[in-house]
Amino acid sequence: MAKRRKFTPEFKAEVVLEVLSGATSQAEVCRHHNLNENQLSQWKRQLLENASTLFESTDKQSSEVSEQRIAHLEQLVGRLTVALDIQKQVPWIG
């Protein structure tokens, strides 16, 4: 039984962009990379359907990551404040 090939997202994007650029036909690209035309058509459809979300997701992801980081830092500041208050009350610690 033949082993299935796995393609990286970078490879898929490169191949689809090669077709979309118009430099070579889809059939030529498939022959060159030993791909089935249906597979390449599926990749092309996926790219075109999701192209509009590429720019939105980075903004949403970065704001979510920033919010998570801020929450973590606020918790850390809270813990350090409590530790500092305890150290001020008990001068022989530390």
- Residue 71 pLDDT: 92
**Domain coordinates in residue numbering, the chain:** 7-52, 61-94
Which are the contacts of 39, defined by CB distance < 8 A and separation ≥ 6?
none
Residues 31-64: tens digit of each pLDDT: 999 999 999 999 999 999 988 877 765 566 678 8
Token duo for residue 39: 């597979």
- Residue 75 pLDDT: 93
Model's pTM, two decimal places?
0.56
